[in-house]
Chain A
Amino acid sequence: MKTFHYYEPSALEEALDILHQYGARAKVLAGGTDLVVQMKQGKIKPEAIINLTKLQELNFMAIDSAVRIGPLTPLSRIAANPFFSGRLALISEAALAVGDVQIRNSATLGGNIANASPSADMPPALLALGAQVRLRKKGGARVVSLEELCLGPFSTSMEKDEIIVEISISPIPEGSGAYVWMPKRTAVDETLVGVGTWLQGDAQGETCSQAVLALNSVAPVPFRAREAEAFLQGKNLSRENFRIAGEIAAEEASPRSRADYRKTLVSVLMEEALERALRRAQ
């Protein structure tokens, strides 16, 4: 691994100052499960590493009518949070889909988003819930939707001196969701296709008033299958309609490799994720 300047700021403002000074020549270290691997492989050679570990104010989960999660929160803590069960189980399902026990103990929510792997598991679940990301930089702050943040494979709309300081779902929408995924058969079980669904029914629970359907690994970025969403709106919450929504979503996907298999998986997993979301509403 190439040498680098090492910083361990004790305040956010200090971290922002250092990042502002280095810009793209620095990398921010949270859990390191993606970053350290890329550095060991020589894929990236940052001039400086800014370890955020001392900024424990960025390691939190606050849940009331909204969900707010700090970027340094380990995925294992998210997976174990009893609040992320029942209608909100998609959040823990996505966290559990990442890596293995050891990886989840180190890996953070902020890292899973900022690394911007097309196969990252948290984004589809969070997209389905309309998550917002709060960013800070020296002398500035803004909030963007997660959807706007995801720009391309390993690329986000974050400026080179911005840091994620909060991921929020505010307010938590009515309805229920699920995250269903299928891994590649490799050592690390990287996600081949992942589907996050959020379903809102009418008062009788018979027709769909809104569906949000998000996918990873089948396009350059995690994205919403908007045609499938539009199809479901106003339709009966039936297995047959879920199946058709899955087929529509498969046509919206644009996988690069193993395209036929991945598209088939999109329809199968979408149907399953909608069924599971519906069961959780009852």
Chain B
Amino acid sequence: MKVKIHLQVNGLAYEVEVEPRRTLLELIRDDLELTGTKEGCGLGECGTCTVLLDGRPIKSCITLAVQAKGREVTTIEGIEGADGTLHPIQQAFIDHGAIQCGFCTPGMVLSAKGLLDENPRPTEIEVREAIAGNLCRCTGYQKIVEAILSVSSQEHGA
């Protein structure tokens, strides 16, 4: 039996009917067709499914869609400017070569945003802690850390 839920995704209000057993990731990718959020391990370990729930990073593959009821979800599609300008974190990832295959990138960027929104001037250790739940198998952590730190030293937009 489906349940009707209201939620905000990237600033838009949605009313959707979901089966309670479906995950937030499935709702985002299959129903809303926002495929920037990736599925990796499916068990909450790799972090590529990371989205912001009320501004805080969570793993959407182990969150039921009904748990997002009445709340605000931000996916990678929701952080660029209205004119398509990349978010400063996205731009920094490009500028620092912090992207290799790109599969972990949406989750990395959102974990970084979760950190910088709460702590605009993190230390390197705080950056590493913040992305500890996001695995990169191209072994690119160093450049990712550098990219995030470079944003932290600039003016950081929303």
Which A residues lie at the B interface, using CB under 8 A?
A: 1-6, 8, 29, 32-33, 36-37, 39-41, 49, 51, 53, 76, 99-103, 105-106, 187-189
Whether B21 pairs with A1 at a CB distance below 8 angstroms is: yes
Residues 78 to 101 of chain B near chain A (Cβ within 8 Å):
none
A40 CA / B64 CA spacing, docked (Å): 11
Nearest-neighbour CB distance to chain B for A212, whole angstroms, equals 29
Whether B132 pairs with A187 at a CB distance below 8 angstroms is: no
Nearest-neighbour CB distance to chain A for B122, whole angstroms, equals 12
A40: B residues at CB distance < 8 A: 23, 42-43, 62
**Which of B1, B41, B46, B63 lies in contact with A36, CB distance below 8 A?**
B63
Whether A37 pairs with B43 at a CB distance below 8 angstroms is: yes
A49 CA / B22 CA spacing, docked (Å): 13
Task: Tell yes or no: B66 within 8 A of A by CB.
Answer: yes
Whether A102 pairs with B111 at a CB distance below 8 angstroms is: yes
- Which 9 A-B pairs rank lowest in CB-CB distance, beginning with the nearest? A100-B133, A6-B20, A187-B45, A1-B21, A36-B62, A105-B56, A102-B59, A100-B132, A102-B133
Whether B47 pairs with A106 at a CB distance below 8 angstroms is: no
Nearest-neighbour CB distance to chain B for A254, whole angstroms, equals 28
Q: Can you report 17 residue pairs joining A to B where beta carbons are below 8 Å apart?
A: A1-B21, A6-B3, A6-B66, A29-B67, A32-B62, A32-B67, A39-B21, A51-B67, A53-B67, A101-B130, A102-B44, A103-B59, A105-B58, A106-B62, A106-B63, A187-B41, A189-B132
**Which of A1, A37, A49 lies in contact with B44, CB distance below 8 A?**
A37
Whether B67 pairs with A103 at a CB distance below 8 angstroms is: no
A228 CA / B46 CA spacing, docked (Å): 39
Whether B57 pairs with A36 at a CB distance below 8 angstroms is: no
A37: B residues at CB distance < 8 A: 43-44, 62
B41: A residues at CB distance < 8 A: 187
A3-B19, A3-B21, A101-B114 known; A76-B56 Cβ under 8 A: yes
Task: Tell yes or no: B129 within 8 A of A by CB.
Answer: yes
Which B residues lie at the A interface, using CB under 8 A?
A: 1, 3, 19-23, 41-47, 50, 53, 56-59, 62-64, 66-67, 69, 111, 114-115, 129-130, 132-133, 135
A2 CA / B1 CA spacing, docked (Å): 12
**Which of A51, A53, A102 lies in contact with B57, CB distance below 8 A?**
A102
Nearest-neighbour CB distance to chain B for A6, whole angstroms, equals 4
Whether A187 pairs with B135 at a CB distance below 8 angstroms is: yes
**Which of A3, A29, A51, A101 lies in contact with B132, CB distance below 8 A?**
A101
A53 CA / B65 CA spacing, docked (Å): 13
Nearest-neighbour CB distance to chain A for B138, whole angstroms, equals 16
A53: B residues at CB distance < 8 A: 67, 69
A100: B residues at CB distance < 8 A: 47, 132-133
A1 CA / B129 CA spacing, docked (Å): 31
A69 CA / B111 CA spacing, docked (Å): 27
Nearest-neighbour CB distance to chain A for B132, whole angstroms, equals 5
Whether B56 pairs with A36 at a CB distance below 8 angstroms is: no
A29 CA / B23 CA spacing, docked (Å): 14
Whether A103 pairs with B19 at a CB distance below 8 angstroms is: no
Whether B58 pairs with A106 at a CB distance below 8 angstroms is: yes
A5: B residues at CB distance < 8 A: 1
B63: A residues at CB distance < 8 A: 32, 36, 106
B43: A residues at CB distance < 8 A: 37, 40-41
Whether B67 pairs with A102 at a CB distance below 8 angstroms is: no
A101-B114, A101-B132, A102-B59 known; A33-B44 Cβ under 8 A: yes
Most buried by B among A102, A105, A188: A102
